[in-house]
Amino acid sequence: MLRLGNREFGAHEPVIMAIVNRTPDSFYDQGATFRDEPALARVEQAVAEGAAIIDIGGVKAGPGEEVTAEEEARRTVGFVAEVRRRHPDVVISVDTWRHEVGEAVCEAGADVLNDAWGGVDPKLAEVAARYGAGLVCTHAGGVEPRTRPHRTTYQDVMADILDVTLGLAERAVDLGVRRDGIMIDPGHDFGKNTRHSLEATRRLNEMTDTGWPVLVSLSNKDFVGETLDKPVKERVLGTLATTAVSAWLGAQVYRVHEVAETRQVLDMVAAIAGHRPPAVARRGLA
């Protein structure tokens, strides 16, 4: 059972986390949801299309202009409060590695801290424990936030992923974070080249076999682009194919840009796996 905010999700219930970037320089939408009005419209659309979690980020993952903790909080805290006011039942996640920002957004109503940089600030898990928030424990290969991998090597990439994420998860439990609010994330692209991310996907069952809910953040990432030689705006099909494989191997939470398309993929995989009945059944019944 996964419990986030006031929502509970069964073991075979796929969960969509919709991305809302409060940044002017997002790699995907170049700041389309930086201002409040389009960002709130994006939330409305994502919830209507089936997202249970809204993931709000105030700093783009890649290199770029420096964003201080104060500026990151300015971009996210008030927005979290407004989304909470408008959507009391939606799960609000904030993509941050800084404990100062984590504290401020939890005060504003956030339910989950999405630590995409692998515990680089160890105090962030302490904040999650103090506020009863969920926590995403990610493998980022030990790189500094907002840096790209360079000549990254692993003797066994999945062994490293398991060692790091399970260690972060158990540390979080020891600090007082609820066990049923913790997710582990292989960290596609983070501290990894394309072959590492492909192998992490291929061996994802090794993560799901641990019993921890697995979150995957696949949406339009560079490993999809390099695999298919496609620019950012032409990576949806590759993303959805990777989503289907991840669902078959047992991932539960999907951080995405395309909510409606992802919902269909997850429903189809769940039906094939026998976890969900068809929406309608007419053929061959009369």
Walk me through the domains of the chain, giving residue ranges and CATH numbers: 2-273 (3.20.20.20)
Across the range 235-254, mean pLDDT stands at 98
Q: How many CB atoms lie within 10 A of CB 5?
A: 22
- The token duo for 244 is 């289907």
Q: Is the pLDDT of residue 25 over 90?
A: no
Beta strands at 2-4 and 7-9: parallel, antiparallel or unpaired: antiparallel
In 3-state terms, what secondary structure has residue 22?
Answer: coil
Residue 146 buriedness (CB in 10 A; 0-12 / 13-18 / 19+): middle
Question: What percentage of the chain reaches a pLDDT higher than 70?
Answer: 98
Place of tokens 């986030």: 4
Mean pLDDT of the chain: 96
Radius of gyration for the chain, computed over Cα atoms and rounded to the nearest angstrom: 18
Question: What percentage of the chain reaches a pLDDT higher than 90?
Answer: 93
Across the range 151-173, mean pLDDT stands at 97
- Window from 19-28, 60-69, 123-132, 206-215 with minimum mean pLDDT: 19-28
- The token duo for 185 is 């994330």
Nearest 5°: phi and psi at 71? -70, -40
Residues with Cβ < 8 Å from 68, sequence gap 6 or more?
none
Quick: pLDDT tens for 174-218.
999 999 999 999 999 999 999 999 999 999 999 999 999 999 999
- The token duo for 259 is 């909510």
pLDDT at position 17 is 98
Residue 173 buriedness (CB in 10 A; 0-12 / 13-18 / 19+): middle
Quick: pLDDT tens for 58-115.
999 999 889 999 999 999 999 999 999 999 999 999 999 999 999 999 999 999 999 9
Entry field: residues in the chain: 286
